[in-house]
Structure 1
Amino acid sequence: MKALRQYLEMVGHLSEEDIQSLLAFVRFQKLKKGDFFIREGQVSIEVGFLVSGLIRSYYTTNTGEEITYCFRFPNDMIAAYSSFITGNKTDENLQAISEVELLVFSKQELNKLSNDSLNWTKFLKEIAELQYIELEKRIFQLQKTTALQRYEDLLQNQPEYVQKIPLQYLASYLGITQRHLSRIRKEFVL
């Protein structure tokens, strides 16, 4: 709960009473490696706060290929965000790629908090803005940088976790083949 409290305090706008209101709803959840927080075709009705472990977000193409487009690390919020907002079925999968510990709360609980306190409305707006900025950064990264630069960025921002990501997921995230990833890793070490 300490990490979640720090996250809530960092984003701001929330009083101690607001934070306590959320903590009263939070439940602890563990996922084993390979388990899903949400699968394609489901409606996202929960948000998780990643305490430990790694989550990958991916979708499956019409040909059955899995495309990893995002990783979530400890102290990140996770949800199938567009489904969470719209109430429509999601096209994405959120899968544990290691043992995962989460603090989970429901959309219904967040809506109640938002109805009771303007601070929660401000908080949710800020989270939406952060999600937008992250998405925009990812789009620009894919369009403006090389796979080597994307790999370096990941190493700079999450060095302790990069080695724990299976190569096929890492290659997919970078938009390259596993063979190309092997060449980049060798080049990077030199």
Structure 2
Amino acid sequence: MDELFAYLLQFGSLNQRQLDLIASKATPLALGKDAYFLEAGHVARRVGFLLEGVLRICYYDNKGDEITRNFIDEHHLTTNLRGLEDGLASSEYVQAVTECRLLVFAKRDWDELAHTMVGWSEMVHKMTAKHLMEKLARISPMMAQDATTRYREFLNNYPRLANRIPLSYLASFLGVTQSSLSRIRKNIR
């Protein structure tokens, strides 16, 4: 729970009573490797805080190819925000790349925090903005870079992830084939 509190306190101040309320709403969840936190076609009904492990966000393109869009590592939130807020079905999957431990909030409990805690909605807004900025910082430069530069940037920006995710997922994320990524890795060692 301390990891969650440290994360939340980056976005605002919380007193002990508020922290106790948050803790009372969090439920531990263990996800096995390859298990889904959220599946495409389902509406998000929970918010997760990743304590341990790596998740990936993926989807299938119109050719049926699986595309990895993003990775989530420790001390980050995960949900499908549009689904959670608007009741829309997700078009993506959130899948465990490794064994994962999360703290999970049911939608009703997440909403209750917003209705009972002064400042909670502003904190959630700040969290969402931070994650969007991180996502843009990760994805935007990749659009104009060659594959080797994209891989090097990934290693520089996310050194803890490189050895924890399968090569096929990383290749998909970088927009290259697995064999191309293998050549790139061989050439830069």
Q: Report the TM-score range of the alignment, normalised by the length of the smaller protein.
A: over 0.9
Deviation at 1:52, TM superposition (A): 0.8
Alignment-derived partner of residue 135 in structure 1: 135
What SS does the corresponding residue of 1:105 show, helix, strand or coil?
Answer: strand
Alignment-derived partner of residue 23 in structure 1: 23
**CA deviation vs aligned residue, 1:44-95 (integer Å, no higher than 9, x gap):** 1111111111111001112211100101111111112222232100001001
Gaps of 5+ in 2: none
**CA deviation vs aligned residue, 1:112-145 (integer Å, no higher than 9, x gap):** 1111123101111112212321333244123233
**Matched AA of 1:156:** N
Q: Is contact 1:8-1:19 (8 Å) kept?
A: no
- Percent identity of the aligned residues? 33
The change in CA–CA distance for 1:145 and 1:11 in structure 2 (over 3 A counts) is farther
Q: Is contact 1:37-1:96 (8 Å) kept?
A: yes
What SS does the corresponding residue of 1:12 show, helix, strand or coil?
Answer: coil
Alignment-derived partner of residue 107 in structure 1: 107
Structure 1 window deviating more from structure 2 (111-120 vs 34-43): it is 111-120
Q: Is contact 1:14-1:123 (8 Å) kept?
A: no
Deviation at 1:166, TM superposition (A): 0.7
Alignment-derived partner of residue 180 in structure 1: 180
Gaps of 5+ in 1: none
Aligned length, in residue pairs: 189
Alignment-derived partner of residue 86 in structure 1: 86
Distance 1:134 1:79 in 2: 16
Structure 1 window deviating more from structure 2 (129-138 vs 112-121): it is 129-138
Q: Is contact 2:52-2:100 (8 Å) kept?
A: yes
Distance 1:131 1:161 in 2: 17
Q: Is 2:98 the counterpart of 1:98?
A: yes
The change in CA–CA distance for 1:184 and 1:43 in structure 2 (over 3 A counts) is same
* RMSD (CA atoms): 1.6
Q: Is contact 2:44-2:80 (8 Å) kept?
A: yes
The two structures have a TM-score, normalised by structure 2, of 0.92
**Matched AA of 2:17:** E
Alignment-derived partner of residue 74 in structure 2: 74
The two structures have a TM-score, normalised by structure 1, of 0.92
What SS does the corresponding residue of 1:98 show, helix, strand or coil?
Answer: coil
Q: Is contact 1:13-1:122 (8 Å) kept?
A: no
Distance 2:49 2:30 in 1: 12
Alignment-derived partner of residue 63 in structure 1: 63
**Matched AA of 2:44:** S
Alignment-derived partner of residue 2 in structure 2: 2
Alignment-derived partner of residue 126 in structure 1: 126
